[in-house]
Amino acid sequence: MVQEQTKKCPLCAEQIKAEAVVCKFCGRNIDKKFKKNFIIAIAITTTGWVLFSVGIFNIFQKGRGFIVALGLILGFILIIVGFVRVIVNTIKMWWRG
């Protein structure tokens, strides 16, 4: 009989297979790569919102220049990229789970 390698789920403390990325007891994703990618995606989205908001604020302050337009465009692009990364990571998690 072959003994399977196990590890303890860091969230619910149940024993699961060492290769598991989703705990079969609590259903949470325990893959560190997924968490890192999710945090990066949230940071990108937040940065985009900040740039976009500053651009909107500058428009209302009578700012009509290249920098304002660049901030709006770059902010909007970062928001879209961040959302796409969140969606892709979520789909990957569900697909593996």
Give pLDDT tens digits for 33-90: 777 888 899 999 999 999 898 888 887 777 677 878 888 899 999 999 999 988 988 8
Q: Is residue 51 within 8 Å of 69, Cβ to Cβ? A: no
pLDDT for 97: 52
* Structural domain harbouring 2: 1-30
pLDDT in tens, 24-42: 888 877 777 777 888 899 9
Q: 90 and 61: one domain? A: yes
Q: 47 and 72: one domain? A: yes
Considering Cα of 10, then 13, then 15, then 21, what sign does the dihedral take? negative
Q: 22 and 65: one domain? A: no
pTM of the full structure? 0.62
Q: 36 and 26: one domain? A: no
Three-state DSSP at 94 gives helix
CA distance 83 to 67: 24
For residue 20, the one-letter residue type is A
